[in-house]
Structure 1
Amino acid sequence: MTTLNGAVVLVTGANGGIGTHFVRDALARGASKVYATARTARTWDDERVVPLTLDVTDPDSILAVVGAAGDVTVLINNAGTSVSSPGILSHSDEEIRANVETNFLGPLFVARAFAPILSAKDESVIIDIHSALSWYAVAGIYSATKAALWSATNSLRLELAPEGVHVVGVHVGYVDTAMAAHSTDPKTDPADLVRAVFDAVEAGEYEVLADDTSVRLKAGLSAPIEAVYPQLTGTKA
């Protein structure tokens, strides 16, 4: 179990709806410092928040943040991107690469860069924000990158457990942020999501299924593929 009290937290994508709640809730739970990172760092109204510029797709940017934040004990890989339409064949090379680099390679490279720092701490945590769409491929390239991150998180968990680093994977469907503004489906309040994540961290859990969608999709992974994707029964012979 890891307490947030006295922790030094780094949040990627801190300017967004979920990221902002991670910053605020970490402080409310007693974090001594929060590095709020984003491509365009902004000012915060709390001296415990240290804004840093970070582009998770830029190796030099990652190294600069590691050099500035060598006291981190909790790393939250929250930064992500999406495309405006589903599918995996319909997107340009640039759109596909942007999703792969931001949603998969970015969190992996940030975790790799901070691993030596976290391994040297008595209690340390990596939190990766996946998606319920990790387990449901209807979002095309977005689903593919989130599925890859889920697999990478499992690998990181196994590799870093002997070093004392606790790795938590988070699955959630739509969250009530700008990224999900296009959807009329039920959405999780970002405050509720962050509360569930930090509760899980403090309870020593490895995985967060933050809504009914995530619970249902994980339970369905063992079902026949036709049950998961009934639209396959309507394909041409």
Structure 2
Amino acid sequence: MLKKIILFVLLLILTACSSTYVSKTEVIRKKETIKLAITTPDKDIYLLGDNYDYQFVGKEARKLQTLIEFQKMKGLTKENLTQVKKRIRISKDGNMTLSISTEFTIYKKSEVDKSNKNFEKEQEDFINDFKKKLKEKDIEYIVKEDEEGWHFDLPNAIEVSGKTVRLPNRNDILQKSSDKIINLELDLAVEYQLSDAEYQKRVSNERWRSAGEFVLGVIAAPFVIAWGILTIPVWIYAVTQ
């Protein structure tokens, strides 16, 4: 028993003494609101957000155009949109990925518009149109209906790649297109490189933390061992009874 206690104490001390890893990058998580989607004559697409603007070209723009078509569907309410998780992740080089959840539920009853007696019928009409749209775009899906609503599962991941930009005339564009503002909210994760000063500060803090844990381990070791010695008779009695 005493041997196990000593080994446990040594393990705590070794853990505190082990080298600590400090990442040179950090991810900041916050909310993003897409104000407007615009298409250029070259079929590139720009999403104008509160934090960043995003550019999509080529096949990625075509993939995004498909998502925009779904977003414009009649009957797709803001309440329905909130059921679908949407996230943008920006890497430290400025490239980004828009990810759309492939599992979501469209509910039969509204938590927002409880006075709307036709809500379930309107949702059913939307679901029928939504399934037709999925088939039209050759998008595989599985849907299960119960009393709560329609539970969708799309086997293939929905991801669109682009890069962050900042349009110089974005304010003018937003003002001229004020009647087309969409205010689409999503999650945003931004990866950035720590400066040398920030990195060195974190390394220093981590070393101080590890040193503190080591000191606490050394201080606690005699007390733990003493406790183990004092309780050995109790353990022996418990085992022999």
Tell me the TM-score normalized by structure 2. 0.23
Which has more radius of gyration? Answer: 2
Using CA pairs below 8 Å that are at least 6 residues apart, which structure has the higher relative contact order?
2
Higher helix proportion (structure 1 or 2) = 1
TM-score (norm 1): 0.23
Higher strand share: 2
